[in-house]
């Protein structure tokens, strides 16, 4: 019982993070590999650029997404999942399967 009380704040914080609109979908898109900002934006067209920037920064702050600047001409920025992000993405996989079975358009 004591262990459960100690775990509750961590679980709550986790649900708070992945429960934010678009966060899970961003992670889902990044599961297929590195993406540039424009590719993320194209993959989730209903998500505004401003909110995409906000969510990606938040995921970066939590160590879930890694932002890499590629010093070519033109300069590119790519986003990839960290190991922490990949593990989270694997957990989101069954939610995707559940959604395919139970969520109607």
pTM reported for the whole predicted model: 0.86
**Residue 60: its pLDDT value, please?**
97
Range of the domain at 97: 2-102
Total domains in the fold of the chain: 1
- Mean pLDDT, range 4-19, rounded to an integer: 83
For residue 73, how many other CB atoms are within 10 A of its CB? Answer: 5
Task: For residue 64, give the CATH number of its domain.
Answer: 1.10.10.10
- Per-residue pLDDT band for 2 (boundaries 50, 70, 90) equals low
d(CA 60, CA 91): 19
Residue 3 has pLDDT above 70, yes or no: no
Cα angle: 9, vertex 91, 42; to 5 degrees: 105
Name the DSSP letter for residue 45: T
């Amino acid at each position: 019982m004591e262990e459960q009380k100690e775990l509750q704040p961590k679980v709550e914080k986790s649900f708070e993070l992945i429960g934010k609109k678009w966060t899970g979908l961003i992670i889902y898109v990044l599961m297929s590999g590195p993406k540039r900002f424009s590719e993320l934006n194209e993959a989730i067209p209903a998500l505004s650029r401003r909110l995409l920037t906000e969510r990606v920064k938040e995921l970066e702050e939590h160590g879930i997404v890694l932002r890499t600047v590629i010093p070519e001409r033109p300069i590119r920025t790519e986003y990839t999942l960290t190991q922490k992000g990949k593990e989270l993405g694997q957990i989101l996989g069954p939610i995707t399967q559940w959604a395919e079975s139970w969520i109607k358009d």
